[in-house]
């Protein structure tokens, strides 16, 4: 199946915010490497996106939410996405780029 990727404005803003933060606390070069690696990881979803496990947010939303991990250790980020399949075209929609330590989306809405 052929996919195309759409990145939500929220995910773009989260990636940009992380890039700016990394530029300040590490170096602009390291931030640029991180950003390029992030884009490469997102592009990898064009091949078998269902290889990625369901995200912990999946139980809080009606659509299936999957995650792709990017980075290692304390620098781990979760790329949250959904797959919209239909006969004409299939879209991988990037919803959020979140640090692995951030709280689960949707969890507090039940409380």
In DSSP terms, which residues pair with 7 in a beta bridge? 94
pLDDT at residue 1 tops 80: no
Answer whether residue 8 is part of any domain. yes
Q: Which helix (DSSP H) or strand (DSSP E) does residue 92 occupy?
A: strand 90-99
- The 10s digit of each residue's pLDDT in 42-80 is 999 999 999 999 999 999 888 999 999 999 988 899 999
Number of domains comprising the chain: 1
Does position 110 have pLDDT exceeding 60, yes or no? no
Rounded to an integer, the average pLDDT of 81-104 is: 92
- The range of the structural domain enclosing residue 84 comes to 3-99
In a domain, 54, yes or no: yes
Q: With pLDDT > 70 as the criterion, what percentage of the chain qualifies?
A: 96
Residue among 55, 38, 54 nearest 104 (CA):
55
Residue 45 lies in a domain: yes
């Amino acid at each position: 199946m052929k996919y195309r990727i759409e990145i939500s404005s929220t995910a773009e803003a989260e990636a940009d915010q992380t890039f700016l933060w990394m530029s300040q606390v590490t170096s602009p070069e390291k931030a640029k490497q991180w950003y390029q690696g992030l884009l490469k990881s997102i592009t990898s979803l064009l091949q078998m996106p269902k290889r990625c496990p369901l995200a912990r947010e999946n139980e809080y939303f009606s659509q299936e939410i999957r995650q792709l991990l990017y980075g290692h250790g304390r620098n781990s980020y979760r790329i949250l996405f959904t797959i919209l399949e239909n006969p004409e075209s299939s879209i991988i929609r990037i919803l959020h780029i979140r640090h692995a330590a951030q709280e689960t989306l949707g969890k507090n809405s039940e409380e």
